[in-house]
Chain A
């Protein structure tokens, strides 16, 4: 009798296991093909720096270098210059001629964002920061003003 009971139980267990296996076989895979496919990040996740513009296209950054002063790792380098009528970058008298962020130094602490009086620098959602050469880790003003569309999706609250 016991032999029959064992057979039934083991068949049940096998069916249970196969159910999971079969279910997983038809479900889409969990592995994400990063960086080709986007990763879902939380809404408060912050990554690579960006410099913002006003709606009329003017740069928000005025080159005041307060971000540079606030940076605990010395990752930011700013050189300011004066706007002229022919060459206007920002609304006031002053703009940043050079703005560089060294991502090898940056610890993404967000102090620069807090120091900025014009909310020009923000941390975006781009987390794909790997690169092949050391010099490629230095973001120039050009890189910062024209950030690539980050390949992320934001998680919706569950």
Chain B
């Protein structure tokens, strides 16, 4: 605790920690000193002079800026003195000399600090009658943001944000005096992934959003405290709506999650919520085409088919989604386990990913860790807000970063990058472990496992030569690991899936174990509710609470709560289901909020006996379906989501669903109520025989009822009711899912390129062509164009020209793509982002996890 000092302000004695800024200390006792440039998340600057107060100094009373003056013992401050008031009114008058006063057409008008302070502290009249300076008024500085230089009061908040947090100084000050303007470097629009935050920070209407430009006035909006569901971080947002339409999203402060930031995708890409292509009524396949139907018809059709198919439950499957709420996922798996008796339940990136199922230790850990080991993680591209915290840790606390990635990513500029070729990650990690074991203290920790040590030494000799790494990079990485007091290991879906996934994760866990940091190994998923879907038991071998099927006491507890019996055999995984579908072994498939057909699986899905899809749009999968159920989006229904640090958060309803779309929990409840078991239970002839054997009837009236049941059934969600979650959410402790970590030998994954020349790497990018992003018109320019990224070295060897259309072939497919030189891609690999128009990467992967072998050749 800092030393406390006493000072007076307008004769009032105040106690504050030494070094606190005057403006903050005054705020705590209710004196709101007006500010423009000062911001709690930015370093003090004193640019706008709005916060002038008088301070008793050695040379008498003098005016100082309270946003740069720390409090000290015995300081005498006058806020409400005549001179201070006149100084502030004068400053305001100067700021307004060139301000256009076009408040009626300004998007900030109504929530503008300049308006408010002019009313509170201004003279109401100006001495200046001269012509105002004219500057750029309608000046786009990126696809998202419009700049009006005339309105700017040159407070530098935007410049400082981009510099201090984003670490991309893309805005600067140009010219002098009254001519001073904020501008971008000519021809270089802002491309920071969190640039939208400067719109929210701007204290005037100089920076405004182009997405919601002129579409609302602040006073007519209704506010709902909700979440962003574009990625797994679960940033807190405020959804502003008018007349049942979402008008804008603002960051909502939650120090435990997103601080007060939001990325541009989260802030601006909400066009999908009210897009005209949303499904508004159920569709039923009649005579080969999908035709509008009533809910009754559609649900009856689904029930009839499912009842029949459930006679062979192993031929029935359900795909959940990491993009929909806990409630929907819970009911999906409950319906299929309890009524259909099938464990064929999974979601994309579910059980096919090797993870301990605990996400990351906590987001707060980013403020403590001194070494970040990023294994197959591209945070700048996939979780931009979390990346801000990494940048902050590096720039402010001098934390170190060690990246293990086959591709150079944006965060590579903060540390050492080791680039193993695909399939050699385990060798590299084991090499690092072996090098660490030469350290006595570390060897002692691994002491009892001499077998492991011997195996490791045996396996990795001269890793640098094998891996083609520079000795200094490798040595630097080892030194970094050895010195780390509090390392944080993070791995992503790029390395945790596929054939080598389990080996990769085990090798990383071994490394963490040697450093005594096994509880600081975290998995960074992509999708909003990837953690929640796991917790809800949308996995073929796990029940709600991630309970394994062999845990007899937990299973019998669940059976008591649900009634009926739970199938004992593990079901098919996501990829397993699609393989089974391709073999024609699935009679019924229920797909909720997922689009496997867009991943090149449409052939397999065509062979499914009866396909039911519930989604927002007529997706590729929905086009193949026999019944399409229009689902409600997360802003159209109450629901909870669990983010990557296991924080369960609320997303309440903000608008009505379009047309007759309904939330997934309600669709599933209606399906359950049509199930024949209901009649069986109501049958008066039914004796009291084995009451527990009959499944209970569902009677949920609201998502809150479902959450209440989740809180009863899922051990780590105990007590997490709608009210208990509150506005900030609640994190379930990682200890609730104990690990039994031990050093394990890892079999090297056998990946072979066979006759192919390259490895194809496919990873997600922020601005993809998926429906959740491409439906926002303003973002169209930002969507990555389909192309194959290749290193210039490989380009020269293959004697191909830039921009040329080439044929990319993998064992699973072949596509034509333009060529793009990208030095971030290492030689011997090709990079094709996932989710682009025409799904080129998905066609090449055909449902497999990367990397896959590939070759390129010129189009004849």
Contacts and interface: CB of A to CB of B under 8 A. Distances in A.
Given A93-B105, A93-B138, A68 B214 contact: no
B296 interface: no
A80 interface: yes
Contact of A63 (B109, B137, B138, B214): B214
A65 B217 contact: yes
A41 interface: no
The dominant DSSP class at the B interface is: loop
Given A65-B220, A93-B138, A80 B215 contact: yes
Contacts of B104: 62, 64, 66, 117-118
Interface in B60-107: 102, 104-105
Contact of B220 (A62, A69, A92, A118): A69
B213 interface: yes
Given A64-B105, A93-B105, A82 B219 contact: no
Interface string A33-72: 0000000000000000000000000000011111011000
A95 B217 CA distance: 13
A92 B214 contact: no
Contacts of A63: 105, 214
Residue among B105, B109, B217 with the highest chain A CB neighbour number at 10 A: B105
B102 A92 contact: yes
A18 interface: no
Given A64-B104, A92-B102, A82 B220 contact: no
A95 to B, nearest CB: 9
B765 to A, nearest CB: 29
Residue among B213, B217, B219 with the highest chain A CB neighbour number at 10 A: B217
A133 to B, nearest CB: 23
Nearest to A117: B104
Contacts of B219: 69
Given A93-B137, A93-B138, A62 B105 contact: yes
Interface in A67-114: 68-69, 79-82, 92-94
B105 A92 contact: yes
B214 A81 contact: yes
Residue among B104, B137, B215 with the highest chain A CB neighbour number at 10 A: B104
A63 to B, nearest CB: 7
A80 B220 contact: no
A79 B105 CA distance: 12
Contacts, number: 33
Contacts of A66: 104
Contacts of A92: 102, 105
A117 B109 CA distance: 13
| Chain A: number of interface residues, binned into ranges | 10 to 19
A82 B102 contact: no
A80 B105 CA distance: 9
Contact of B214 (A69, A80, A117, A118): A80
Nearest to B102: A92
B213 A82 contact: yes
Contacts of B220: 65, 68-69
Contacts of A69: 217, 219-220
Nearest to B243: A77
A64 B105 CA distance: 5
Contacts of B137: 93
Contacts of A79: 215
B211 to A, nearest CB: 12
Interface string A114-140: 000110000000000000000000000
Contacts of A81: 214-215
Contacts of B102: 92
A64 B214 CA distance: 9
A112 to B, nearest CB: 13
B303 to A, nearest CB: 42
Contacts of A65: 217, 220
B141 to A, nearest CB: 16
Interface string B96-133: 00000010110001000000000000000000000000
A129 B340 CA distance: 64
A64 B213 CA distance: 12
A137 to B, nearest CB: 19
A80 B137 CA distance: 18
A31 to B, nearest CB: 47
A69 B219 CA distance: 8
Contacts of A118: 104
Contacts of A93: 105, 137-138, 214
B242 to A, nearest CB: 9
B214 A82 contact: yes
Contacts of A117: 104
A79 B214 CA distance: 8
Contacts of A68: 217, 220
Nearest to A63: B214
Contacts of B214: 63, 80-82, 93-94
Residue among A63, A65, A69, A92 with the highest chain B CB neighbour number at 10 A: A65
Contacts of B105: 62-64, 92-94
B206 to A, nearest CB: 14
B761 to A, nearest CB: 41
B134 to A, nearest CB: 14
A88 to B, nearest CB: 13
A66 B105 CA distance: 10
Contacts of A94: 105, 214
Nearest to A94: B105
A117 B219 CA distance: 17
A27 B587 CA distance: 94
A52 B291 CA distance: 48
Nearest to A65: B217
Nearest to B215: A80
A57 to B, nearest CB: 20
A118 B103 CA distance: 12
Contacts of B138: 93
A94 B107 CA distance: 10
A65 B247 CA distance: 16
A68 B214 CA distance: 15
Contacts of A82: 213-214
B713 to A, nearest CB: 47
Residue among A64, A66, A117 with the highest chain B CB neighbour number at 10 A: A64
Nearest to B214: A80
A81 to B, nearest CB: 6
A34 to B, nearest CB: 38
Contacts of B109: 64
B214 to A, nearest CB: 4
A75 to B, nearest CB: 14
B396 to A, nearest CB: 40
A95 B797 CA distance: 58
A98 to B, nearest CB: 11
Interface string B264-306: 0000000000000000000000000000000000000000000
A118 B102 CA distance: 11
Contacts of B215: 79-81
Nearest to A82: B214
A38 B102 CA distance: 42
A62 to B, nearest CB: 5
A62 B106 CA distance: 11
B379 to A, nearest CB: 35
Contacts of A64: 104-105, 109, 217
B786 to A, nearest CB: 30
A150 B105 CA distance: 32
22 contacts: A62-B105, A63-B214, A64-B105, A64-B217, A65-B217, A65-B220, A66-B104, A68-B217, A68-B220, A69-B219, A69-B220, A79-B215, A80-B214, A80-B215, A81-B215, A82-B213, A82-B214, A93-B105, A93-B138, A93-B214, A94-B105, A94-B214
Top 7 A-B residue pairs of the complex, sorted by shortest distance between their CB atoms? A64-B104, A94-B105, A80-B214, A117-B104, A65-B217, A94-B214, A62-B105
Given A64-B217, A69-B220, 15 more contacts: A63-B105, A64-B104, A64-B105, A65-B217, A65-B220, A68-B217, A69-B217, A69-B219, A80-B214, A80-B215, A81-B215, A92-B102, A92-B105, A93-B137, A118-B104
